[in-house]
């Protein structure tokens, strides 16, 4: 007989450190996505319920069958303050996976936010509470609570591979995932990129309008010949 692993919930994971989370929270998701090689972002269908919502923290990964939120309840029970619950809801928006009650429980538990590739409900109440929730859509229909899912296993959410404990940063632009081991180096790169972008913005405001790299890029792409200028 094959050895079947019947584990559905992993309680002990290695998280990105709180110090790195605090540093990462200072950057836009877009800056972090760029320095991560323009990968690790969730599909744009996953959006904040309010544009002002932001969140950063280690991932608690959840996989559910479409329309069932039993595993999310398990994740709420074992998550630690500062964690971000990230749910692979398969992009299904035929019924909501969380609403006001679960988001209120999460906030009271110190959870930093919830990200779901699926639907949620009670959007007005969640927005009023200012608890960060990102979802693929809305639906007033409620979920079932009867199908086994998995908590804290490697998963893919809206096209992004996520390991438990990876760093999640999300804002008005969407959600980016940074591999836990890569975070220190990526934050150094993010600061350099931010400094460069701020310098460029200052130059534009002072009248230096055209991007300095443009003509070389056009020549490399064959859109300008050597020696030709715009």
Q: Average pLDDT of the chain?
A: 95
> Which residue range(s) make up the domain with 61?
18-187
Domain count, the chain: 1
Residue 186's H or E segment, with its range, is helix 183-205
pLDDT score of 3 more than 60 = no
- The answer to whether residue 202 is domain-embedded is no
Per-residue pLDDT tens for 10-25? 999 999 999 999 999 9
Tell me whether residue 217 is in a domain. Answer: no
pLDDT-based confidence at residue 1 (cuts at 50, 70, 90):
very low
pTM: 0.92
Three-state DSSP class for 53?
A: coil
d(CA 202, CA 98): 43
According to DSSP, residue 144 is labeled: B
Sign of the Cα torsion 111, 113, 119, 123 reads positive
> Is residue 136 a contact partner of residue 111, using CB atoms and an 8 Å limit?
no
Question: Is 205 a domain residue?
Answer: no
Residue 4 has pLDDT above 60, yes or no: no
Sign of the CA dihedral 105, 162, 67, 70? negative
> In this predicted model, what pLDDT tens digit does every residue of 26-54 receive, in sequence order?
999 999 999 999 999 999 999 999 999 99
Assign residue 30 the CATH number of its domain: 3.50.30.40
Average pLDDT over residues 132-158: 97
């Amino acid at each position: 007989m094959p050895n079947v692993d019947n584990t559905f919930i992993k309680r002990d994971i290695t998280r990105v450190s709180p110090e790195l989370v605090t540093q990462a929270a200072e950057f836009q998701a877009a800056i972090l996505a760029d320095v991560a090689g323009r990968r690790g972002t969730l599909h744009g269908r996953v959006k904040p319920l309010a544009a002002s919502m932001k969140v950063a923290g280690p991932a608690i990964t959840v996989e559910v069958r479409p329309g069932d939120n039993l595993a999310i309840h398990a994740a709420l029970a074992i998550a630690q303050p500062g964690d971000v619950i990230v749910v692979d809801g398969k992009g299904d928006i035929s019924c909501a996976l969380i609403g006001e009650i679960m988001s209120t429980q999460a906030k009271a538990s110190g959870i930093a936010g919830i990200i779901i590739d699926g639907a949620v409900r009670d959007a007005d109440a969640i927005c009023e509470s200012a608890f960060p929730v990102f979802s693929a859509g809305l639906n007033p229909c409620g979920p079932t609570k009867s199908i086994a899912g998995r908590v804290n296993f490697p998963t893919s959410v809206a096209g992004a591979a996520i390991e438990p404990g990876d760093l999640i940063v999300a804002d008005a632009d969407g959600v980016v995932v940074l591999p836990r081991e890569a975070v220190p180096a990526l934050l150094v790169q993010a600061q350099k990129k931010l400094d460069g972008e701020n310098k460029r913005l200052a130059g534009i405001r002072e009248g230096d309008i055209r991007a300095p790299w443009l003509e070389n890029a056009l020549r490399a792409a064959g859109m300008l010949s050597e020696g030709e200028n715009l």
